[in-house]
């Protein structure tokens, strides 16, 4: 069982690093249930973000995870599920 946990801070750090951040969006605001599109990230940005999460956390995301995880909350849950970390966010 992995002890690693994927947090909202991890996600924000990786988003900023891999795809940048829209000046009109405050990633430090209440974003857990915002759609990624609403946050300024299109599918390619999510693909790049997903790749970085896979590398850093040594997991393999299913191709449809990013499509079926349209908000930070659902993506964080999906990654932690793969990590075997049972955390509610």
Binding letters toward another protein, positions 56-85, x by CB under 8 A: ------------------------------
Please give the residues from 16 up to 35 whose contact with another protein meets the rule CB under 8 A. Answer: 17-23
Residues contacting another protein: total by CB under 8 A? 15
Min. distance of Cβ 20 from another protein in angstroms? 4
DSSP letters for 33-80: TS-TTTTT--HHHHHHHHHHHHHHHT----TTHHHH--SHHHHHHHHH
Distance CA 9, CA 36 (A): 15
- Min dist CB 88 to another protein, Å, is 29
- Specify burial of residue 33 (Cβ count, 10 A radius: 0-12, 13-18, 19+): exposed
Among 51, 84, 86, 87, binds another protein (CB under 8 A): 51
Q: Which residues here bind another protein, judged by CB under 8 A?
A: 17-23, 40, 44-45, 47-48, 51, 54-55
């Amino acid at each position: 069982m992995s002890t690693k946990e994927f947090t909202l801070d991890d996600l924000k750090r990786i988003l900023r690093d891999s795809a940048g951040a829209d000046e009109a969006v405050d990633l430090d605001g209440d974003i857990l249930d915002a759609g990624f599109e609403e946050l300024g990230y299109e599918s390619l940005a999510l693909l790049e973000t997903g790749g970085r999460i896979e590398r850093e956390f040594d997991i393999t995301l299913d191709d449809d995870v990013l499509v079926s995880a349209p908000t930070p909350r659902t993506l964080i849950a999906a990654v932690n599920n793969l990590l075997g970390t049972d955390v509610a966010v």
